A = this chain, B = another copy of it.
Amino acid sequence: MQTSAQSMSTIRLVPRAGLCQACQVRGIAACASLDDGDLQRLAAIATQKEYAAEATIFEQGDEPSFIYNLTEGHVRLTKTLANGRRQIIGFVYPGGMLGLAVHGAYVCSAEAIGPVKLCRFPRPRLLSLLDELPSLKTRLLDIAADELGDAQEQMLLLGRKTPLERVASFLWRQHQEAIRCGDSTLSIDLPMKRADIADYLGTTIETVSRTFTKLRADGLIKLEHANKVIILDLDGLEELAEGL
């Protein structure tokens, strides 16, 4: 398991069987719905993969050979227009799934923000296994419905919110995400750069930066570093996010 610094691709590839019970995201991932026996059947078709920071996991248009479960690190999902304009469709956090929304081809690319570890399932084998694991199928349906709800919320943000409201919404959600991960503090670590935030919020680096500055000036947040935000006024942030 030597990390070759120059490589953007896989660092380690190991069989998954037996590791699942010990998996850190067991409780929040799709596998949470399974008992030990079923979990082993799922584990039998899984392999663990790692990617270095900035590595591409799959690309928009690729044949969707795998479905992934993110166990460590953060991933961004991107779509790119002909002239290079990029939109980040979503960020994936530990426990999240990659490659669900496809038919015929991945509809977006997945890139590692930092070093990541994921659990990889051959798509056809997972899909056929679903027929024997109904609770997993239900779980996937739930996850898809959840992601659909998130996507719709993001459409509202992109279509109708001002940059200030967008950044406030973004920070609010990051806080919610931190809570989900067990961190109940108001201090938020942003794993992504300004460019990612900008492409996620449908705006520019400069506007994101200026908006952070304004939120700081208005006493709603504090910036410890560029990537560490401390929320000073959570309610105020939420009001902003909701457009009040």
Contact B151 A155 (CB under 8 A): yes
Contact A137 B141 (CB under 8 A): yes
Digitize A96-117: 1 where CB-to-B-CB distance is under 8 Å, 0 elsewhere: 0000111111011000000000
This chain's copy number in the assembly: 2
Which of B100, B159, B202 lies in contact with A160, CB distance below 8 A? Answer: B202
Residues of B within 8 A of A151 (CB): 148, 151-152, 155
Query: What's the Cα separation between A83 and B104 when bound, in Å?
Result: 41
Given contacts A156-B89, A159-B87, contact A243 B149 (CB under 8 A): no
Question: What are 23 of the A-B contact pairs (CB < 8 Å)?
Answer: A3-B104, A3-B105, A6-B103, A7-B104, A77-B152, A79-B152, A79-B155, A81-B156, A81-B160, A81-B161, A83-B244, A89-B152, A101-B149, A103-B142, A103-B145, A107-B152, A107-B153, A137-B141, A144-B145, A151-B151, A151-B155, A158-B159, A159-B199
